[in-house]
Amino acid sequence: MASTSAELGSIVGYSRDASSGERALLMKAVALPAVISAAMLAAGAITCGIAHVDMTRLFLPYLSISFGVTVAAVLVSVFCWVAAMARVRADAPVQKVISRIRSRALLFLLPFVVLPLFLAGYTAAKTAIPFLVGFGWDGFWAQADRLIFREDVWRIAESWLGVGWMPFYSWFYTVVWGGAFMGTTALIAINAKPRRVGVFYTAMLLTWILGGWLMALIFSAAGPVFAPHFNPHLGKSFNGVALAIAANLPADNSLRLTQKYLAASVNGHTAFKGGGISAMPSMHLGAASIYIFAARRTKWLIPAVLFWLMIFVLSGYFGYHYWVDGLAAAVIAWVCWCASELVFRSSREGTPMGEGLFTSR
């Protein structure tokens, strides 16, 4: 009976009576990401004010999609908890699920409120970049790619992948990445241990604010597929990627629609959900790098690495990024993850700091 109870506690992760230390950890896991989110909102408001960009249309879309994803993640998680309890024939499963939800309710604020407000501030600041500093670094990053990889990387990626599966690749790069980002951030807040939630969210938001905004502002680049619009002399290198996409994807394809959607953000002074162009560094790869660090010593490590590799290749394949963008993002994510681990190192939860998100030992 004792072993069954221990197994159930590992599966469901509930506690009847949270200690003062556990409550302080919960507060810390929410407070630090909330502070970073507030800083990103302030940066977005300031840069949009300087650039005369309207950011008011960002909040409702981000909050509404985050609400839907969080509710879905809760339902999926509850189903998994109940299934796990059924496997060990646990008593009073409903009460245990309610206890689990009540003990972690504060963490639900992360995907439901903190993340969408952060994304609103990030999108606002990103949309302001071309109006503040333009895109002056594409030639430099293009040359860095050629120095490292001996060729424009979209040509390398196309030689590897061909064009026959381009519709699938476009779906993976846009829809799968977006679903993975929103779904993972919600599921981790609902299921992982509080200290691990704090490390994950703190590292993720630090990566986006330091890399996706500050570094993007300093080393602003549009990316290969957009670069010829701002730097015509780069057309010889990068017009081919746009032509390949136009020739192999229908006009209503998600990736082509996304490109038009992003291009519209530099033609008007209004920020909208998912808008803004910025290549260096790649937040597609920044987020994917955080998944790898979070998945250490778990069964999710290999899928996380494969996901990173696929997004890395496709970022060049579709001309959204130079491959140095992804490498830079990985380094930034690693620094932010290490810093977040240090911040939470003193937090006690009965497990070593180096374990992955979902290990139970």
The per-residue pLDDT for range 126-175, each reduced to its tens digit, is 999 988 988 889 999 999 999 999 999 999 999 999 989 999 999 999 88
Average pLDDT over residues 335-346: 91
Average pLDDT over residues 81-87: 83
* Count of domains observed in the chain: 1
Question: What integer pLDDT is reported at residue 6 of this predicted model?
Answer: 40
Q: Is 269 helix (H, G, I), strand (E, B) or coil?
A: coil
Within-domain flag for 359: no
CA separation, residue 124 to residues 52, 102, 130, 136, 300 (Å) = 11, 34, 12, 20, 33
| 88 — pLDDT class (breaks 50, 70, 90) | confident
Within-domain flag for 361: no
Domain span at residue 232?
A: 2-343
Average pLDDT over residues 222-249: 84
Distance CA 219, CA 215 (A): 6
Q: At what angle do helices 323-343 and 301-317 cross, to 10 degrees?
A: 140
Within-domain flag for 321: yes
Per-residue pLDDT for 288 more than 70?
A: yes
Lowest mean pLDDT among 57-61, 84-88, 107-111, 176-180: 84-88
Distance CA 145, CA 132 (A): 26
Residue type, 347: S
Within-domain flag for 60: yes
CA separation, residue 122 to residues 77, 129, 161, 213 (Å) = 29, 11, 32, 7
Within-domain flag for 353: no
Confidence (pTM)? 0.87
- Reported as a single tens digit per residue, the pLDDT across 47-64 is 999 999 889 889 999 999
- Reported as a single tens digit per residue, the pLDDT across 202-221 is 999 999 999 999 999 999 99
Within-domain flag for 352: no
Of the candidates 239, 251, 273, 240, the residue with the CA atom closest to the CA atom of residue 167: 251
What DSSP letter does each residue of 311-336 carry, written as one string? Answer: HHHHHHHTTS--HHHHHHHHHHHHHH
Distance CA 193, CA 272 (A): 34
Residue 151, both tokens: 């060729």
Distance CA 132, CA 192 (A): 40
Cβ atoms of 334 and 293 within 8 Å: the answer is yes
Within-domain flag for 115: yes
| 360 — pLDDT class (breaks 50, 70, 90) | very low
In whole numbers, what is the pLDDT of the chain averaged over residues? 85
Within-domain flag for 266: yes
Distance CA 1, CA 18 (A): 23
Residue 236, both tokens: 């010889």
Residue type, 165: W
